Amino acid sequence: MIDNICKFLAESFSSDFASWILGESITLTKLEPSELSTEPIRVDSVIFLESSEIILHIEFQTDPNKNIPFRMADYRLRLYRKFPEKQTHQVVIYLSPSQSPLVHETTFTLRELNHRFNVIRLWEQPTEIFQQYQGLLPFATLSQTNNPEATLRQVAKQIENIADKQVQSNVAASTAIISGIALSKEIIQRLLRSEIMKESLVQDKKLQK
């Protein structure tokens, strides 16, 4: 469920993700995994976004996974085969704090083959980054904050100020689900309680599909 929410946010707020990850506000469109190969692609946590010059490949991970380095190398070769002229930026985003060395791995090495990719550990990212963009608000409680509850309280106020009701509902629903990694359901419901939260419940069910 969280994978689907993360993918929804990346697709819906691609320029926000580009500003965060690439350092440049670029509007990206979704690249369907089926375009890369006839071989199966694990689509639950993977998203490919593209512009005319760059492909942004994001993989969301809640827990460490020893297969990540190989998968990133595999996807990179598939992307090169299909789009040799485009730049590719690959990043694995780890959502939950972990002491595992796996969340620090950024290379896949096989004899003379050496592939590098990027890793973001959300709990090491400054909270302010996620408070700057509507599409990143749902991740704020997972960032480098000493008080996730207070952070969610601030996020709730920002959500209330979103003028577009559909966007407001989407962000509220996404925030409620993703914040569940760091906070209890009771705290989330209390801090996000309002007409916004009531409206987001319907959107919540749509996002989980």
Regarding whether 201 and 143 lie in a shared domain, the answer is yes
Question: pLDDT, tens digit, for every residue of 185-205?
Answer: 999 999 987 545 555 554 555
Is residue 39 predicted with pLDDT exceeding 80? no
Same domain, 7 and 42: yes
Task: Examine the fold and report which residue of 124, 143, 163 is the final residue of a domain before the chain moves on.
Answer: 124
Query: In the structure, what pLDDT confidence band is assigned to residue 137 with cuts at 50, 70 and 90?
Result: very high
Average confidence (pLDDT) over 110-129? 96
Does 110 lie in the same domain as 132?
A: no
Q: Considering only 10-19, 158-167, 199-208, which range has the smallest mean pLDDT?
A: 199-208
Same domain, 40 and 28: yes
Least confident of 91-100, 143-152, 185-194: 185-194
pLDDT confidence of residue 120: 98
Instruction: Say if residue 190 is in the same domain as residue 174.
Output: yes
Residues 119 and 16 both lie in one domain: yes
Task: Please check whether residues 18 and 101 belong to one and the same domain.
Answer: yes
Tokens of 206: 């749509």
Q: Which of 105, 124, 143 is the last residue of a domain?
A: 124
| Region class of 118: left (phi > 0), else alpha (psi between -120 and 50), else beta | beta
- 73 and 114: one domain? yes
Domain boundary among 101, 124, 147: 124
pTM of this structure: 0.88
Same domain, 200 and 131: yes
- Give the whole-angstrom CA distance, residue 113 versus residue 16: 33
Q: What is the mean pLDDT of residues 112-134?
A: 97
User: 131 and 120, same structural domain?
Assistant: no
pLDDT tens-digit map of 42-91 = 555 688 999 989 999 999 999 999 999 999 999 999 999 999 999 999 99
Higher pLDDT, 141 or 32: 141
pLDDT of 209 over the 80 cut = no
Q: What is the 3-state secondary structure (H, E, C) of the chain?
A: CHHHHHHHHHHHCHHHHHHHHCCCCCCCEEECHHHCCCCCCCCCCEEEEECCCEEEEEEEECCCCCCHHHHHHHHHHHHHHHCCCCEEEEEEEECCCCCCHHHHCCEEEECCEEEECEEEEHHHCEHHHHCCCHHHHHHHHHCECCCHHHHHHHHHHHHHCCCCHHHHHHHHHHHHHHHHHCCCHHHHHHHCCCHHHHHHHHHHHHHCC
Is the per-residue pLDDT at 207 higher than 60? Answer: no
Residue 185 belongs to domain spanning:
127-207
Number of compact structural domains in the chain: 2
Report the C-alpha gap between 152 and 167 in whole angstroms: 18
Residues 6 and 54 in one domain: yes
- Same domain, yes or no: 85 and 134: no
pLDDT of residue 43: 53
